[in-house]
Amino acid sequence: MRDVDPRIFLVIILVPVFLVVWLKMPGSSSIIRRIKFWMIAPGAMIGLLCLPVLLYEVYHQVGAHSRLVAFGLPDSNYFSYCAGAQGGRAPRFVWRFSLRTVPSELVEKYSARACEDGWKADRKSDGSVVLIKGQKRVCVSVEQFGDERHFVIEKIR
């Protein structure tokens, strides 16, 4: 699935495995087993507490590309998984895609493709583009987020 961050799947699988290993460990026979037991316990508890947050992100990420197409915007091969919990679900309608490669002038290429699908483009001085089609208005931009660049599509109300 290209919608979901692969690191989240890894953590969702590893946390229950880590918890089962922790619960299966005998904790009282020797001092070494007690130390191992209590060294694993904080990691298992932290993982267990993080699991709902990760499942919430997956809920928002799954189907982001199809929601983008259903909204009437074109999909792009440059888009990878969604970043965080921003996969275009109502009421926010914000898509934040991690980019596979960062080609030059991606916003212009995407807006030109959207114009082929009937959208009107209004370029802003900050490098973003506002796409308009009937009552729908979205802002398209590339933003720096830590070490990565994200392609952001946000519905304007």
Residue 39 CA to its chain's centroid (Å): 32
**Residue 98 and residue 40 share a domain:** no
Given a contact cutoff of 8 angstroms between Cβ atoms, the answer to whether 111 and 156 are in contact is: no
Band of residue 8 on the pLDDT scale cut at 50, 70, 90: confident
Q: How many domains does the chain have?
A: 2
**pLDDT tens column, 31-76:** 776 677 777 778 778 888 888 988 888 888 888 989 999 999 999 8
What is the mean pLDDT of the segment spanning 95-117?
88
**Residue 99 and residue 49 share a domain:** no
Strand-strand pairing, 129-133 and 120-123: antiparallel
**Residue 82 and residue 11 share a domain:** no
**pLDDT tens column, 131-156:** 999 999 999 999 888 888 899 999 99
What is the mean pLDDT of the segment spanning 7-20?
83
**Residue 52 and residue 69 share a domain:** no
**pTM (2 decimals)?**
0.76
**Residue 28 and residue 73 share a domain:** no
Distances (CA, A) of 22 to 9, 18, 35: 20, 6, 12
Q: Which domain holds residue 81?
A: 63-155
